Structure 1
Amino acid sequence: MCALFFLLGLLIPWWWLQDNNFRLTAREKLATAFPEMNAMIMRRFSLPGDVDRAQQYVLQSDGVQQTTYLAQRYCHEAVREISKLRPSPERDALIQLSEIVLTRDK
């Protein structure tokens, strides 16, 4: 059931998440790898070029790959758990939803 909630949670925009520990960990990792990142975060990316530099830092880190790996792992777990439910159109839609989440571009 936890995997199902994770799958549905993937549909919620990241800025709705209330998990401060996750956000702080990601921020700390980026700030450690790229010290300038912390200053950009503190000034809320208000200077010209801040957003572009931050995007480059994120792409240079392994965060995107780690996120993709975790999404795949949790979606596969969700499908495994959902498959235990009685066959129904709703169950099939949830399984299809996991495929959509993994293959969407935005």
Structure 2
Amino acid sequence: MTRVELTISIAGALLTAFAIGWLAHWLWSRAARVASPRGDRADELAAELLEIEAERDRISAEAAAEVAAAAALLREREAELSAAMDGLGAARAELAALRGER
């Protein structure tokens, strides 16, 4: 057997051993994953996360609605204040005019 044939046969044996090891690892991890309780826990955590995100979105929408309602109420109060201040200014002007007539 020449040196090249020996190198090729060793490389083939190593490649075959690697392929068999990789296949065995893959089969073992597939078999172990099915029986693992960690998968169930991960599913529970994912479901809980989805529920929490939905609740966060709901609360965020409610907060946005409350902010919009408060802003509308503030605009209404500012309009009332402006009208009251205009009325007060008109009343003062009328009072000054009446005092000036004397």
Q: TM-score, normalised by structure 2?
A: 0.37
Greater RCO structure (CA 8 Å; 6+ sep): 1
Name the larger-Rg structure: 2
Say which structure is richer in helix.
2
